[in-house]
């Protein structure tokens, strides 16, 4: 299996204690948290950072966590697993969770199916979910809680996919896996207990990039998914935006990390950065894309390219819903146990996604 190295990694004692403290403080009003810490609200360009996120940011800055470029990818993967585990509380309950084997671009992939709560005989929508992590990090465990939240609050099945990762499997391997997983889901939705007419694809960050590329590829094949859920997506490998300049250091996703991810995924070939399967904003056939829900965060280096992609889809005539959470940061789906604002945003995203699917044309 491609994620065979994704063995269980537990937070250190310090990380576990810091995570428990952040979860405890999530029950305290934000203003009181800042007073307790002796911090002023963090304001940039008229936007005020969520105070509970500000707490997590303060802890990270004091720990001086190095960027990806300063560590081997295996060490960074382990750190990512520990960090996500340390801030995750009690898992959100769903009807059931089971691992499944699906067809990938070059062999079998592991996937995990989260069944939506519901009555017997119901066939809810199915979301094929592709995790974030810069095409190099992340696995079924790091994104367990976001998938649970989506399944429960959108009332749908979620199939999380462990696609192959760079640098061991650079472009186009993750794209091939994303497309293969979506094709598999469209063929097997009924056997998974889902509505075959309402199979969507989504993801966060790099996973959102893969999701929209898979949506474009399958649309070109004549069988687009019912919709695409794009949470703080990266959409242009050559982007040089104001948000990258403003939030490229100290906001959970640094420019150094972005560059390191890009180089691991794409190698040294600069021309490939303009490939629509890498930079979907450059796709010449965006009008074929299915309806989209694009989610961005105010304090995120990727914010502007997400906004630009939503605009490009609209100009192409695609139905687009857009949510902007100005007080949040890149990766806020991992902060739902420590920030009420992040949790409320995740629940609102689930609701908006289900509403978008309700108005989507049949994929049958």
The residues annotated with a catalytic role in the active site are: 205, 300, 330
- Do residues 195 and 123 touch, judged by C-beta distance below 8 A? yes
Query: Which value, to the nearest 10 degrees, does the dihedral of the CA atoms of residues 351, 356, 362, 364 take?
Result: -60
What's the CA gap between 290 and 271, in Å, rounded? Answer: 27
Residue 172: asked if its preceding bond is cis (omega within 30°), the reply is yes
User: What's the sign of the alpha-carbon dihedral 258, 130, 346, 26?
Assistant: negative
Neighbours of 100 (CB within 10 A): 14
Q: How far apart are CA 83 and CA 104, in angstroms?
A: 28
* Both tokens assigned to 149: 């939240």
Dist CA 198 CA 292 (whole Å): 13
Which residues are CB-contacts of 3 (< 8 A; sequence separation ≥ 6)?
110, 139, 140, 162, 165
Q: Give dist(CA 218, CA 125) in Å, integer.
A: 18
Burial of residue 268 (CB within 10 Å: 0-12, 13-18, 19+) is exposed
Q: Are 28 and 54 contacting, i.e. CB atoms less than 8 angstroms apart?
A: no
DSSP 250: S
């Amino acid at each position: 299996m491609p994620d065979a190295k994704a063995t269980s990694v537990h937070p250190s004692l310090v990380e576990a204690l810091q995570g428990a403290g952040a979860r405890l403080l999530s029950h305290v009003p934000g203003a009181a948290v800042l007073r307790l810490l002796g911090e002023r609200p963090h304001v940039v360009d008229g936007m005020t950072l969520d105070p509970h996120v500000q707490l997590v940011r303060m802890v990270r800055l004091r720990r001086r966590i190095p960027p990806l470029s300063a560590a081997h990818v295996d060490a960074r993967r382990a750190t990512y697993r520990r960090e996500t585990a340390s801030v995750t509380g009690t898992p959100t309950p769903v009807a059931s969770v089971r691992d499944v084997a699906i067809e990938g671009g070059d062999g079998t992939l592991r996937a995990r199916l989260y069944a939506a709560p519901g009555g017997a005989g119901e066939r809810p929508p199915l979301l094929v979910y592709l995790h974030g992590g810069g095409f190099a990090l992340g696995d079924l465990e790091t994104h367990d809680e976001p998938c649970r939240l989506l399944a429960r609050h959108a009332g749908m099945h979620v199939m999380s996919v462990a696609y192959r990762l760079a640098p061991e499997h650079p472009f186009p391997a993750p794209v091939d896996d994303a497309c293969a997983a979506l094709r598999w889901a469209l063929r097997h939705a009924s056997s998974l207990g889902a509505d075959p007419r309402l199979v969507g694809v989504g993801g966060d960050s790099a996973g959102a990039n893969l999701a929209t590329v898979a949506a474009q590829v399958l649309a070109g094949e004549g069988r687009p998914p019912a919709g695409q859920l794009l949470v703080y997506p990266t959409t242009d490998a050559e982007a040089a935006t104001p948000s990258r300049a403003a939030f490229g250091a100290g906001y959970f996703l640094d420019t150094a990390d972005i560059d390191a991810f890009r180089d691991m995924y794409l190698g040294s070939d600069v021309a490939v950065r303009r490939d629509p399967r890498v930079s979907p904003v450059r796709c010449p056939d965006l009008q074929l894309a299915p309806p989209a829900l694009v989610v961005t965060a105010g304090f995120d280096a990727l914010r502007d390219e997400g906004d630009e992609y939503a605009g490009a889809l609209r100009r192409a005539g695609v139905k687009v819903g857009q949510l902007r959470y100005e007080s949040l940061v890149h990766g806020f789906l991992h902060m739902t146990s420590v920030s009420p604002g992040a949790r409320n945003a995740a629940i609102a995203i689930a609701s908006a996604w289900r509403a978008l699917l309700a108005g989507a044309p049949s994929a049958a």
